[in-house]
Structure 1
Amino acid sequence: MKAYYFHGSNGEKVVTEDIPPNLEELAQEKRRELVEVVSEVDDKLAELFLSDEPISATDLEEAIRRATVARKFVPVFMGSAFKNKGIQPLLDGVLSYLPCPTEVSNHALDQSKNEEKVTLTGSPAGPLVALAFKLEEGRFGQLTYLRIYEGIIKKGDFIININTGKKVKVPRLVRMHSNEMEDIQQAHAGQIVAVFGVDCASGDTFTDGSVRYTMTSMSVPEPVMSLAISAVSKDSGGNFSKALNRFQKEDPTFRVGLDPESGQTIISGMGELHLDIYVERMRREYKVDATVGKPRVNFRETITQRAEFDYLHKKQSGGQGQYGRVIGYVEPLPPGSGAKFEFENMLVGQAIPSNFVPAIEKGFKEAANSGSLIGHPVENIRIVLTDGASHAVDSSELAFKLAAIYAFRQCYTTAKPVILEPVMLVELKFPTEFQGSVTGDINKRKGMIVGNDQEGDDCVITAHVPLNNMFGYSTALRSMTQGKGEFTMEYLEHSQVSQDVQTQLVNAYKATKATD
């Protein structure tokens, strides 16, 4: 064993000396502890340890590597990134203890076979499969970091973005050394490289076109929370748009939209903290101060029973009028159907000319964007068109589109609509002594506890809690547990709200519409 000293302004001069006499005993004791811990997860080292044979540095290093690759042991290095001390041993540790690409099995999802799992060989001889895992704004435009899982990528090659279907050329291929770039002609499986001039989003997968593999699932969860956001200064409008565009590329769960009624920019994401981070990044990286509105939960509406519609849209106002009649029914989609909106044309004969049917579907889709209960989108709905009527002169696409919109509104209340709210899967970890107050608080927030485990002195609770009741929960949990509690939260599903909550939401919506 040796003592390491880091000299120079950036800790670049590593000096190795003997351990000072006053620390020798402590170092030996800590080494014994390390051997003991590693021998618990590595059989080969355990044999040497139990038979009291001397354990060399090589034996210990090999055992640490085996246990780390098997994910039974996590090596921890001491150091300071701020002062650049301990960086060299850490990098040596990456080489010594972490697995090389051929020692781990990676899986891709075959998009041509309904996301079936495929094991990648990690061989340069296979078809190219590379993942864009990080985007950076460089001096020469977007710099995309790629991790190559299989095959070879060459400068000048054409590669296909499986997520978008676009074919792009690799104009420049570089290997990154901290913030310095080294131009290279090709790279193979196991390497991390960067490319310029490739327009893509974080998480996109590139192949050579011979396979349709993606490294991440194509299904992105719907955002559960929205915020109105605007730049404080009008001068920073350019940077404001640039930041939002970049964040959308980096993170597929981050969405940006425009509220058609208020004209405000709305950002949506997976929770309060998720959106807070982007607002902070905008201020730090783009120097844009933004004002944010009150968080808004993304509710949904749906129907619970079948309802018939028969609506005639007729308007005469000098010249060509408007005429369109639609007859049919709406019904809820069966649970687990996957689709959120279905339109079925069951017209017999030519009661409505076929060229007007797409306009009718468009009208129903537009109407389903805003339910009459609280103005949120309507989901899990099937609309069936069975009959109708048209006029030789006055019928038009607009007339049938409006007929569909009014028909939907007419039958919506008869279909007994309900409100769906996002429910989160919440995992809490806190000292057992606070169990009573934490579980009481979860119940107060209308949460349902589905799991309760013990981890040492800590209690681990899993619960399903409506997102609308989780605002400011991190502060509440800290105060209940004297700062010792922690929680994670992820989207689970949209489920029906209770009748009293529905009445509250409908009344609040009516009140805001009245003030507008």
Structure 2
Amino acid sequence: MKVYQTNEIRNIALIGNAGSGKTTLAEAMLLEGGVINRRGEVTAKNTVSDYQPIEQDYGNSVFSTVLHTEYNNKKINIIDTPGMDDFRGSVISALHVVGSALVVVNTPHGIESGTESAYRITHNAHKPVIFLFNHLDHENANYEQTLEQAKANYGAKVTPIQYPVNAGPGFDTIIDVLKMKQYKFPLDGGPAQITEIPENEKERADALHNELVEMAAENDEGLMELYFEKGTLTEDEMRQGIKLGMIERSLFPVFCAGAKHDIGVSRLMEFITNITPSPAEAVEVPEVNGKHPKVDPSDPTSLFVFKTTIEQHVGEITFFKVMSGTVKEGQDLTNSKSGNKERISQIFVNAGKNRTKVSEMIAGDIGSTVKLRETKVNHTLSEKEAAYNFKPIEFPSSRHSVALYAVNEADEEKVGEMFAKLHDEDPTYVVEYSKELKQMLIHCQGEYHLNALYWYYKNIFKIDIEFKAPKIPYRETITKSAQADYRHKKQSGGAGQFGEVHMIIEPYEEGSEPKTSFKMNGKDQKLSVRDTQEHPLPWGGKLIYHNCIVGGSIDARFLPAILKGIMEKMEEGPLTGSYARDIRVYVYDGKMHPVDSNEISFKLAGRNAFSQAFKEAGPKILEPIYNLEVVVPSDRMGDVMSDLQGRRALIMGMGSEKGYEKIEAKVPLKEMYKYATSLSSLTQGRGRFSMKFDGYEKVPQEVQEELLNTYAAELVED
């Protein structure tokens, strides 16, 4: 295969709602470029793109697929991405390395939730956008309505370059107002018949052409002067203006297609090769060490890894973009994270699971390699003297969490090992082993994302797993002071155990001072604080431990054991087994035995005295509260607000922006299980939310009673 130069390469991501026809379009583009000689179909499970078993099973893209085609003496690298929002991590990673985004729109359905989500990601990545109105051969295709929706959502920058003449069944003709020609495509494939625009379409075509000329001229002062001087621009001048407008995101061209029958695809590819920015012109990924390498074959070699996948009989395949220089087969590069060398033993050009071996790749190109030892997604490989380190992909925060269990305990270790492989392939799967909750927590993007995880364990790893609602990391504390004493006494033939501890506990507030007297059970208890230890707790809050022993009733050597017993009980709170926090303890009296007293005796005495005092000190359970931001379509505001009220949310503020309402609220974590699914259902997939931990607050009394009863039942079960 030819080695393409940087100016001969175009990198593009296919993004949009599920069902918009991205995979079918990719097939048509590969067919046009001669990479395949027969177009596959999603329903027949024989497309180049959706080749993974899970994708063929689901009938939808689950992972991004790296493809390439050749057209107009240029190479087009294509990344076909999933349309479901749960798999948007693949869209984000694809846009990190391409020069342009092709937003594929299902014209019969108009601008869908997945279209909106995809567009937002292009906005955050500041990538040029082309809208492709697909499925114009469908009986419900409505080009005009979809164009109005796009303009309403994204502004006047949405600019038609084409419009259909006969949308609906039998669609085959497009008017191109950049070329000012009519394109009629054979329904069985083949080159278009290009003719002059017929008289009955001339007026509309002229109006749209003039609009396009103005939009192109606005992006460059020189072009604007030419436009004022001549009243128009040549096609080459328009191309220049359109390219500048796309790079600045001030112009979004609209194209038309019926990808299933290859209608409009060749003209789209011509536009991509002629006008979309090459890697040297596109917005590239910045380097984080203050260096600015050029996308230049003569610079030191550097690669950025944006994707890995695992294939049976092959192992791990690493996908990269050549950020600078020229990568050659057998070249040694240094991993910026580890500092270790990696050998690029082979270089491949990709078309789904098909790989073509090449000897080298030039800056700006996209390829893959195999058998790297430790290089993962977001790693940079470069020549040692360059030591580049490119900005990592920022994957989305998790929106759904579950506890994962192996059905058979013997599989527990294997479950973790397999998850690590899935995380490498999809970094938006995140695992957390919670010592506090005694659960393996999986954080992901939603129910579909979770279902894909389950599919892998069942069908590929052959491990039975189950999901449960994650436990909530409650905290326990007290609201008033209380006193308790406990004697631990054990005699069993040999050496006995004896320890007695008297203590008072009270709530701790930051900055408060210890007290010197308490009234307990109608009696005044005077205290003399001899020593204070302050223990910030790993789970938040503090324990303040005061030694108030006078007269040697407890030997000083046993005081650390008492503290240890208290800490053990704070790690497993007396109410529900949750962590306890913000407590001040005064140990003021006790008893010893000259023979039987030892550390274990005083640890147990301290633990049990603390537990008794805690239950008498107005104990309260605290729950984690999160700041929630929800963005919803205006017409769904009422439903979302009602749902939030049912989740004990406290509304903190509201605002409006472009047909959407933004709700800010504080909400207990307990009420947010499966919220991603509920919000999607309430808003037809158009709502989105983010959460950030705020702090802990006391639970309502009825919730506390429920938690106490549940914990008591669990103890009986155990």
Give the match for residue 503 of structure 2. Answer: none
Structure 1: how far apart are the matches of 2:220 and 2:575?
Answer: 61
2:688 maps to a residue whose letter is: T
8 Å contact 1:159–1:167 — kept in the other structure?
A: yes
Matched, 1:282 2:456: yes
Shift of 1:143: 0.4
Shift of 1:38: 4.6
CA distances 1:492-516 after superposition (whole Å, capped 9, x unpaired):
2252134317625633641552463
Give the match for residue 225 of structure 1. Answer: 401
- Larger mean CA deviation between 24-33 and 488-497 belongs to 24-33
Shift of 1:100: 2.3
Q: 1:213 to 1:328 in 2, by over 3 A?
A: farther
Give the match for residue 255 of structure 2. Answer: 77
Structure 1: how far apart are the matches of 2:301 and 2:606?
Answer: 48
Give the match for residue 387 of structure 1. Answer: none
Structure 2: how far apart are the matches of 1:199 and 1:411?
Answer: 56
Matched, 1:254 2:429: yes
Q: 1:94 to 1:242 in 2, by over 3 A?
A: farther
Structure 2: how far apart are the matches of 1:252 and 1:407?
Answer: 47
Q: 1:87 to 1:317 in 2, by over 3 A?
A: farther
Structure 1: how far apart are the matches of 2:404 and 2:281?
Answer: 47
Q: Select the residue among 418, 421, 428 that pairs with 2:631.
A: 428
Shift of 1:444: 4.5
Shift of 1:106: 3.2
Structure number with greater Rg is 2
Matched, 1:133 2:306: yes
Q: TM-score, normalised by structure 1?
A: 0.66
Shift of 1:93: 3.8
Q: 1:299 to 1:58 in 2, by over 3 A?
A: farther
- Larger mean CA deviation between 446-455 and 203-212 belongs to 203-212
Q: 1:277 to 1:224 in 2, by over 3 A?
A: closer
Q: 1:5 to 1:94 in 2, by over 3 A?
A: same
Q: How does 1:207-226 map to 2 (within 5 A)?
A: 207-208=381-382, 211=387, 213=389, 215-216=391-392, 225-226=401-402
1:122 maps to a residue whose letter is: K
8 Å contact 2:184–2:192 — kept in the other structure?
A: yes
CA distances 1:158-214 after superposition (whole Å, capped 9, x unpaired):
43261xx37353242323242343334444543322120125575331344664835
Q: 1:279 to 1:85 in 2, by over 3 A?
A: farther
Shift of 1:452: 0.4
Matched, 1:493 2:666: no
CA distances 1:444-474 after superposition (whole Å, capped 9, x unpaired):
431434440231xx13214245344345556
Structure 1: how far apart are the matches of 2:605 and 2:268?
Answer: 68
Q: 1:256 to 1:370 in 2, by over 3 A?
A: farther
- Superposition RMSD on alpha carbons, in Å? 5.9
Structure 2 SS opposite 1:213: coil
Structure 2: how far apart are the matches of 1:399 and 1:151?
Answer: 70
Structure 2: how far apart are the matches of 1:149 and 1:303?
Answer: 55
Structure 2: how far apart are the matches of 1:150 and 1:372?
Answer: 61
Matched, 1:98 2:277: yes
1:448 maps to a residue whose letter is: I
Q: TM-score, normalised by structure 2?
A: 0.50
Structure 2: how far apart are the matches of 1:270 and 1:100?
Answer: 32
Q: How does 1:228-247 map to 2 (within 5 A)?
A: 228=404, 244-247=419-422
Structure 1: how far apart are the matches of 2:195 and 2:206?
Answer: 13
2:283 maps to a residue whose letter is: V
Give the match for residue 235 of structure 2. Answer: 57
Structure 2: how far apart are the matches of 1:368 and 1:37?
Answer: 67
Q: 1:330 to 1:508 in 2, by over 3 A?
A: farther
Give the match for residue 453 of structure 1. Answer: 656
Matched, 1:195 2:369: yes
Shift of 1:78: 2.9
Matched, 1:175 2:352: no
Matched, 1:15 2:192: yes
Structure 1: how far apart are the matches of 2:400 and 2:259?
Answer: 36
Structure 1: how far apart are the matches of 2:678 and 2:194?
Answer: 51
Shift of 1:47: 5.0
Q: Select the residue among 632, 637, 644 that pairs with 1:442.
A: 644
Structure 1: how far apart are the matches of 2:641 and 2:661?
Answer: 11
Q: 1:275 to 1:219 in 2, by over 3 A?
A: closer
- List alignment gaps of at least 5 residues for structure 1: 111-117, 344-350, 382-393
Structure 2: how far apart are the matches of 1:443 and 1:128?
Answer: 56
1:442 maps to a residue whose letter is: L
Structure 1: how far apart are the matches of 2:571 and 2:539?
Answer: 15
Q: Select the residue among 264, 288, 293 that pairs with 1:121.
A: 293
1:140 maps to a residue whose letter is: V
8 Å contact 2:399–2:690 — kept in the other structure?
A: no
Shift of 1:67: 1.1
Structure 2: how far apart are the matches of 1:370 and 1:153?
Answer: 56
With a CA cutoff of 8 Å and minimum separation of 6, indicate the structure with the bigger relative contact order: 2
2:347 maps to a residue whose letter is: V
1:77 maps to a residue whose letter is: F
Give the match for residue 348 of structure 1. Answer: none
- List alignment gaps of at least 5 residues for structure 2: 1-178, 500-530, 544-555, 584-596
Q: 1:61 to 1:221 in 2, by over 3 A?
A: closer
Structure 1: how far apart are the matches of 2:228 and 2:623?
Answer: 61
Give the match for residue 513 of structure 1. Answer: 714
1:497 maps to a residue whose letter is: E
Identity %: 18
2:237 maps to a residue whose letter is: D
Give the match for residue 82 of structure 2. Answer: none
Shift of 1:103: 4.6
Matched, 1:34 2:34: no
